[in-house]
Amino acid sequence: MAIKEFDVFVIGTGTAGKSVAYDCAAEGMNVAIADNREYGGTCANRGCDPKKVLVGVTEAFQRAKNLKGKGIEGDLKIDWNSLQEFKSTFTDAVPVVHERKLKEAGITLYHQSPKFLDGNTLSVEGKSIRAKNIVIATGQKAMDLKIPGREYLKISDDFLAMDELPESIVFIGGGYIGMEFAHIAARCGAKVTVIEAASRPLISFDADVVSHLQSVSEKLGVKFIFDAEVSEVEKLRKNYRVSFRKGENTGSVTARMVFNTAGREPSIDELDLKKGNVTFENTGITVNEYLQNPANPSVYACGDVSASGAPPLTPVSSQEARIVSMNLRKGNYTKMNFPPIPSVVFTIPQLASIGMTEEEAKERKFDYAVRYKSVPNWFNAKRIHAEEYVFKTLVDKESNLILGAHILGYQAAEMINLFVFAMCGKITVDQFKTMIFAYPTWGNEIKGMV
């Protein structure tokens, strides 16, 4: 049987992979795509989207709870089973819809993780295929914790698919996933403990603003154990015991379920990259400014799996996919050039950030002005009886441009987008303050933050 040949073979059907496939197919290229899991990728099936559905219900619950006695009466509770059924209405159809649309675009589909045989040849579903260009867009997976008892650990996929909420949970890791899930689980009635190796949660975010979120979390009932390295997980009769080292001391905590939320790593184990002469590093596939692998120019990488230096976020994946598809279709002339990128942690309240933290501004020796305030008395927080509303902004004294913005608030995720416009457009603080926003909106309040 003759070996099938393609112009482009895409590995991964998430945000980045499917975008490249559609673009190249629309250009008349012969395109194939493969995935060893449900089509549609992490974000739509088992990541951002289903998580945000769960968060949305807990947001409504918390908003009503805050206003109890101020017009809201009666007892409220979250029913986990109904919540999961609601979430399923967003996720169940995703794989089928993606497969149908890809087929309609004339793209050949495979349902297995390919393996490199050489620089341009892959083995997939028992067949050998050749491709002029191969795009790796396999994303990331849960980091493997190499500790005794790791087989008892659950991951984010399991949390989002739980039929029943256990009465107690330990999250190993206080990053995005651990903090978001801790807030969901605690509001749904679970007893939650977060074990973190660092001295605080969300280590990449501004320390001052995070301290307020930590306080909110503790009031919610989340227990934190910091500076702790988990050493073992043991199965007991009903519970699991998580042992940890904290300096020279040891300790343990028990729970019905334990989740590994310590971080994610590139999903590349199954690809046999060395056979394809594809270089890689701890953060993913090595890429140049064109998102092309320097060792094998036939290979490109985009999305969370690329070691581009950009954060592993869905909008970044879309941007990297655009760069790769342009270079595949037009030849290498589109280079990586990322604008300021916002990040959001969907706890309640939300934590949103863009640009430098104060620590980074100090390290880079900027002469900056800082505004850091807790403002629960501002109108929008006051009208929903929000207990925490905090911001910190950094402005360069010489240029009067915004260097960084960090917000903890109920609409922080939307508010940070206005700072994206200001920073990408190089709008000075004086120009920013002359703009007229609708009142009384959360967005209007950002003018008081700079």
Identify the CATH number of the domain in which residue 210 sits: 3.50.50.60
Q: What is the pLDDT of residues 169-183, one digit of tens each?
A: 999 999 999 999 999
Q: What is the arithmetic mean of pLDDT over 404-411?
A: 98
In terms of DSSP bridges, do strands 127-136 and 121-124 run parallel, antiparallel, or are they unpaired?
A: antiparallel
What single DSSP character describes residue 47? S
Domain assignment present for residue 337? The answer is no
What is the Cα 295 distance to its own chain's centre?
A: 29
Q: Is 206 helix (H, G, I), strand (E, B) or coil?
A: coil
Reported as type and span, the H/E element at residue 415 is helix 412-424
Same domain (yes/no): 137, 278: yes
Domain assignment present for residue 108? The answer is yes
Q: Are 102 and 21 in contact (CB under 8 A)?
A: yes
One-letter-per-residue 3-state SS of 55-86 = HHHHHHHHHHHHCECCCECCCCCCCHHHHHHH
Q: What is the arithmetic mean of pLDDT over 206-221?
A: 98
Same domain (yes/no): 125, 8: yes
Tokens of 353: 């950030």
Domain assignment present for residue 223? The answer is yes
Q: What is the pLDDT of residues 11-25, one digit of tens each?
A: 999 999 999 999 999
The mean predicted confidence, pLDDT, of the chain is: 97
Domain assignment present for residue 338? The answer is no
Q: What is the pLDDT of residues 271-323, one digit of tens each?
A: 999 999 999 999 999 999 999 999 999 999 999 999 999 999 999 999 999 99
Place of tokens 């909008």: 315
Q: What is the pLDDT of residues 227-262, one digit of tens each?
A: 999 999 999 999 999 999 999 999 999 999 999 999
Q: What is the pLDDT of residues 366-397, one digit of tens each?
A: 999 999 999 999 999 999 999 899 999 999 99
What single DSSP character describes residue 163? S
Domain assignment present for residue 336? The answer is no
Identify the CATH number of the domain in which residue 361 sits: 3.30.390.30
Same domain (yes/no): 131, 56: yes
Place of tokens 């040949």: 5
Helices (H), 165-290: 176-187, 207-220
Cβ neighbours of residue 412 closer than 8 Å, sequence gap 6 or more: 344, 349, 350, 351, 352
Same domain (yes/no): 323, 381: no
Tokens of 291: 């998102």
- Which class for 377: exposed (0-12), middle (13-18), buried (19 or more C-beta within 10 A)? exposed
Q: How many CA atoms lie within 13 A of 66 on its CB side?
A: 19
Percent of the chain residues past pLDDT 90, beyond the cut: 98
Q: What is the pLDDT of residues 45-101, one digit of tens each?
A: 999 999 999 999 999 999 999 999 999 999 889 999 999 999 999 999 999 999 999
Q: Which domain holds residue 168?
A: 150-262
Cβ neighbours of residue 431 closer than 8 Å, sequence gap 6 or more: none
Domain assignment present for residue 343? The answer is no
One-letter-per-residue 3-state SS of 377-442 = CCHHHHHCCCCCCEEEEEEECCCCEEEEEEEEECCHHHHHHHHHHHHHCCCEHHHHHHCCCCCCCC
Same domain (yes/no): 85, 28: yes
What is the per-residue pLDDT for 418? 97
Cβ neighbours of residue 69 closer than 8 Å, sequence gap 6 or more: none
Same domain (yes/no): 9, 99: yes
Same domain (yes/no): 275, 391: no
Same domain (yes/no): 21, 134: yes
Same domain (yes/no): 421, 360: yes
What is the per-residue pLDDT for 1? 61
- Which class for 142: exposed (0-12), middle (13-18), buried (19 or more C-beta within 10 A)? buried
Reported as type and span, the H/E element at residue 315 is helix 314-330
Domain assignment present for residue 292? The answer is yes
Q: Is 16 helix (H, G, I), strand (E, B) or coil?
A: helix
Cα separation, 302 vs 282, in Å, equals 15
Nearest 10 degrees: CA dihedral of 266, 264, 39, 276? 10
Give 2's pLDDT tier (boundaries 50, 70, 90).
confident
Tokens of 238: 């009903």
Same domain (yes/no): 36, 135: yes
Number of folded domains that form the chain? 3
Residue 206: CB atoms within 10 A of its CB come to 25
- Which class for 249: exposed (0-12), middle (13-18), buried (19 or more C-beta within 10 A)? exposed
Same domain (yes/no): 14, 121: yes
Q: Are 404 and 363 in contact (CB under 8 A)?
A: no
Q: Which among 206, 236, 262 is the end of a domain? A: 262
Same domain (yes/no): 54, 117: yes
Give 31's pLDDT tier (boundaries 50, 70, 90).
very high
pTM of the entire predicted model: 0.96
